[in-house]
Amino acid sequence: MTQHKRLLTRVVILLGFLTFLWGSPQVFAAETYQIGTDLTFPPFEFQNEDNEYVGIDIDILHAIAKDQGFEVELRPLGFDSSIQGVQSGQLDGMIAGMSITEERKANFDFSEPYFDSGIQMAVAKDDTEITSYEELAGKTVAAKVGTESATFLQDNQEKYGYSIKTYDAADALYNALTSNKVQAIFDDFPVLGYAINNGQPLKLIGEPEKGNSYGFAVKKGTNQKLLEAFNAGLAKLKDSGKYQEIIDTYITTAAPTASRENTFIGLLKNNWSILLKGLGKTIGLAALSFALATIVGIIFGLFSVSPIKALRVITGAYVDIIRGIPMMVLAMFIFFGMPFNIPDFTAGVITLTLNASAYIAELVRGGINAVPKGQMEASRSLGLSHSRTMQKIILPQAVKIMIPSFVNQFVITLKDTTIISVIGVAELLQTGRIIVARTSQSTYTYLIIALIYLIVITTLTRIARKLEKKVA
């Protein structure tokens, strides 16, 4: 009887302990949400001089997450890719200066507005001709793709008689203005103000047009718990004064302070580590993709010269399909279009592998066909099988022919990694874009990136030439 009492006591204690664990949220890890953003939209989201993700949107999100007890993993995919990521289920939500519009409400559920924005016109600092919209007749103006500014320009084009150009990023927008490719640009007034305070030779014209409010967005009908937590946290931030403190931190009319990134050396010194990290990801993408592509390409290349017709047909279809789809479209389909989630780096590897393997298959086919057909016929007449002839006679000669083309294909794959930035992989070019968004130093930044690519590719080319000589 005593043993039964002891057993019962232990069971009661165990149940009590489990009940305590179940009722204590601190015991369990906080829920983590994947949130898309755009690091090229200061002062709302960008990477600072210490390579930390900051900005109005980022600080508000982190403050709300801390208050509401959840974790966020930021995914800096860019604005358009974040929209697709939310719609495809890759992301739980996005915060990227996204205007709340009736059209977007058809596909997204928005939080309460966290910022009331507006658009404004800017011209070159030394421009004395344009003082209002009326002077835009016959001129070219620009805005970023998919923004409220672009919509405003389209709606008023007939009224003011200007031509419109659109650009993907702010640095392209500013460069178009300073190089006189366009005569005026339109963007959200805090963004233009930040650019001016950071040295862009622009000046604002007129008063801001009243714009839409920004909101945190989730896919329509999903993640309502996250949306409710954001709204609750936002209300607390406003009541406590923390919200206004965040806004005041980034929106100011103060003169710009001296930055350690205003010179080529300063920019390189402050960003060398993140640039090397981007280079490492670029080389990793290229090396892994090319290794896999070589295996797949050789298999399909051998299929293309096989005596079995079905294998030749399959190879022809594979090569035609892969080469017929632009790589950017292929990358976006693999990352956003699949019914299951694929990490951005993995999606990039798959994209580059498929693309390179199609070209390698053709290199293999061309290399094999370059070996005189008489050698195959002579070998077969001596009694060797087709596979044995390929292994011992044809392929050794074909490899020597193909080596220069293989090296060239690797260099192409290395350059193609820049396209993978469209799905948010922070390779070397995307790293540069993030730096440009913060510093406005597009000339220095892209010069550094060009030099890095030049050094890497030149080194690879010299190694390839030495390899060629050894094989010869």
CATH of residue 122's domain is 3.40.190.10
- Whichever domain contains 393, its CATH number is 1.10.3720.10
How many separate domains does the chain show?
3
Residue 115 near residue 214, CB atoms below 8 Å: yes
Token representation of residue 313 = 């047909």
Co-location of 80 and 146 in the same domain: no
Pair (311, 283) in one structural domain: yes
Quickly tell me which residue has 């007749």 as its tokens. Answer: 137
pLDDT tens-digit series, residues 420-461? 888 878 889 888 888 887 777 878 889 999 999 999 988 888
- Is 181 in the same domain as 110? no
Mean pLDDT score of the chain: 85
Sign of CA dihedral 303, 304, 308, 310: positive
Q: Is residue 405 domain-shared with residue 390, that is, in the same domain?
A: yes
Question: Which residues make Cβ contacts (< 8 Å) with residue 317, sequence separation at least 6?
Answer: none
143 plus 207 within the same structural domain: yes
| Coil vs helix vs strand at 33 | strand
Query: Residue 89 pLDDT more than 90?
Result: no
CA angle at 52 for the pair 47 and 58, rounded to the nearest 5° = 75
Indicate whether 98 and 192 sit together in one domain. Answer: no
Structure tokens at 175: 């460069």
Residue 377, pLDDT score? 63
Give the residues across from 36 on adjacent strands: 75, 94
Residue 327, CA atoms < 13 Å, CB-side half-sphere: 23
Query: Do residues 223 and 367 share a domain?
Result: no
Residue 161: what pLDDT?
94
207 with 241, same domain?
Answer: no
Cis peptide before 43 (omega within 30 of 0): yes
Tell whether 110 and 124 lie within a shared domain. no
**Domain of residue 191, residue span:** 117-211
pLDDT at 106 over 90: yes
- Sequence letter at residue 422: V
In this structure, the answer to whether residues 181 and 246 fall within a common structural domain is: no
pTM above 0.75, yes or no: no
Query: Which residue(s) pair with 187 in the sheet?
Result: 120
DSSP letters of 81-144? HHHHHHHHTS-SEE-SS-B--HHHHTTEEE-S-SEEEEEEEEEETT--S--SGGGGTT-EEEEE
Q: At 123, list the tokens.
A: 């011209």
433 within some domain = yes
Tens of pLDDT, residues 18-61: 444 444 444 445 689 999 998 888 889 988 877 788 999 999 99
User: pLDDT tens-digit profile of 255-314?
Assistant: 444 456 677 888 888 888 889 999 999 999 999 999 999 999 999 988 888 888 999 999
Long-range contacts of 1-7 (CB under 8 A, 24+ apart): none
- Report the alpha-carbon distance of residue 423 to residue 58 in Å, rounded: 20
CA 337, CA 331: separation in Å to the nearest integer? 9
The whole-angstrom separation of Cα 242 and Cα 238 is 6
- Residue 409: inside a domain: yes
386 lies in the same domain as 412: yes
Query: Do 228 and 98 lie in a common domain?
Result: yes
* Cα–Cα distance measured from residue 166 to residue 160, given in angstroms and rounded to the nearest whole number: 17
On the question of pLDDT at 381 being above 80, the answer is no
Residue range 353-375, pLDDT digits in tens: 999 999 999 988 887 777 777 66
Q: Within a domain: residue 15?
A: no
- Within a domain: 403: yes
